[in-house]
C-alpha cells in the first residue's frame, strides 16, 4: 500500500474543514517553556491547526510543508493574522535548507511520525539553539468505553481492506507517545515532559465519511475501494450505533530539551 504524507495534499479544503484542532491547554504548556516571541520551525503544518494558535501567541514560525496545495491554503488562512510572523517552505523537513542553531523550538502536530527515526532527534539538533525544545503533538485514539464498542465492531471491515489494527489500543492511563520512547533513548534529550488533554469527538456518518477521506489508509486505496470501505463503516454505525461514531481521543504534547541545558 502506497502511503505517503503527500497523500493529504489532494483535498486541502476537506482537510481544513474536518481535521480537529488542538486543545488550547497544550499551547499554554508549550509556550510556558519558550521565550517571548519564540522562533519556531513547524514540521508538517497542514492547513494551520497548530500554526494559528502559535502565531496568535506571538511566535515567528517557519513552516515546512511537503504539500503545495496545503501550503497554499495555510498561506491564505494566516494572511490576516496580525500577531507573530509566518514564513512557509514547500519541501521535505528532512532535507530542506534551514539555518542551523537558530530556532527556539521545533514543533510538529500529528505529523512527526512521518519523519525518519534516525532524524527525529538529529535534525532538530542541527536546527535548534543549544537547549532548544523539540515539541511533538500527537492525536491518540485510545481504547475506552466512550466509543460504545464501535471500533471493535468494525475492525474486520478495516481488515478487508488491509487496514485492521494489530493489538489493542492503549487506554488513556497506559498511553505513552512513541516519540517519548525515542527521546528517552537519546542522550541528547533532557527535561522530557508529557502534557495531555482528553477530548472525545462524536461524528455523524457524513462527518466521519469526510474525516476518513483525510486519513492516510483510506487515501492510499483506489477510489472504488475507498468508497466501499467508508460505506461499510458507516453502515455499521447506522445499523448498530444510532448513526454516530465517537472517537475517544487524548492529545499529547511531548517535549524535550536538545543539547545543552538552559
Classify residue 119 by its DSSP letter.
G
For residue 114, give the nearest of 253, 255, 1, 5 by alpha carbon. Answer: 5
225 is a domain residue: no
Query: What is the per-residue pLDDT for 2?
Result: 41
Determine the straight-line distance between the first and last CA of the chain, rounded to whole angstroms. Answer: 44
Residue 7 reports pLDDT greater than 70: no
237 is a domain residue: no
CATH code (residue 193): 3.40.50.150
161 is a domain residue: no
194 is a domain residue: yes
Query: What is the per-residue pLDDT for 17?
Result: 77
Query: What is the per-residue pLDDT for 132?
Result: 97
Identify the weakest region by mean pLDDT among 3-7, 43-47, 59-63, 202-206. Answer: 3-7
Instruction: State the residue range of the domain holding 73.
Output: 5-143+169-199+249-258
> The pTM is what?
0.91
Instruction: Give per-residue pLDDT as tens, 68-104.
Output: 999 999 999 998 888 999 999 999 999 999 999 999 9
Mean pLDDT of the chain: 92
Cβ-Cβ contacts under 8 Å for 101 (sequence gap 6 or more): 126, 127, 128, 129, 130
Residue 115 reports pLDDT greater than 90: yes
CA distance 42 to 159: 34
Instruction: Give per-residue pLDDT as tens, 154-211.
Output: 999 999 998 888 778 899 999 999 999 999 999 999 999 999 999 999 999 999 999 9
Q: How many domains does the chain have?
A: 1
Residue 242 reports pLDDT greater than 90: yes
CA distance 118 to 50: 25
The cell numbers describing 21, all together, are 484542532
Amino acid at each position: 500500500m502506497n502511503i505517503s504524507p503527500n497523500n493529504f495534499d489532494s483535498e486541502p479544503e476537506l482537510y481544513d474543514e474536518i481535521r480537529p484542532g488542538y486543545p488550547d491547554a497544550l499551547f499554554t504548556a508549550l509556550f510556558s517553556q519558550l521565550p517571548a516571541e519564540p522562533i519556531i520551525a513547524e514540521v508538517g503544518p497542514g492547513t494551520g491547526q497548530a500554526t494559528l494558535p502559535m502565531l496568535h501567541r506571538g511566535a515567528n514560525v517557519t513552516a515546512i510543508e511537503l504539500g503545495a496545495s496545503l501550503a497554499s491554503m495555510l498561506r491564505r488562512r494566516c494572511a490576516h493574522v496580525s500577531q507573530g510572523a509566518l514564513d512557509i517552505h514547500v519541501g521535505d523537513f528532512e532535507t530542506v535548507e534551514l539555518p542551523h542553531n537558530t530556532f527556539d523550538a521545533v514543533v510538529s502536530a500529528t505529523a512527526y511520525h512521518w519523519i525518519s527515526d534516525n532524524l527525529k532527534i538529529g535534525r532538530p539538533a542541527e536546527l535548534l539553539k543549544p537547549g532548544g525544545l523539540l515539541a511533538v503533538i500527537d492525536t491518540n485514539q485510545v481504547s475506552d468505553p466512550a466509543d460504545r464498542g464501535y471500533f471493535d465492531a468494525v475492525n474486520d471491515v478495516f481488515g478487508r481492506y488491509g487496514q485492521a489494527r494489530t493489538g489493542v489500543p492503549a487506554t488513556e492511563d497506559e498511553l505513552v507517545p512513541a516519540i517519548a520512547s525515542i527521546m528517552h533513548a537519546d542522550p541528547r534529550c533532557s527535561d522530557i515532559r508529557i502534557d495531555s488533554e482528553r477530548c472525545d469527538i462524536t461524528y455523524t456518518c457524513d462527518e466521519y465519511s469526510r474525516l476518513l477521506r483525510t486519513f492516510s489508509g483510506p487515501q492510499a486505496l483506489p477510489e472504488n475501494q475507498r468508497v466501499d470501505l467508508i460505506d461499510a463503516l458507516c453502515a455499521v454505525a447506522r445499523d448498530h450505533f444510532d448513526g454516530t461514531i465517537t472517537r475517544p481521543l487524548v492529545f499529547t504534547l511531548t517535549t524535550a530539551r536538545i543539547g545543552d541545558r538552559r
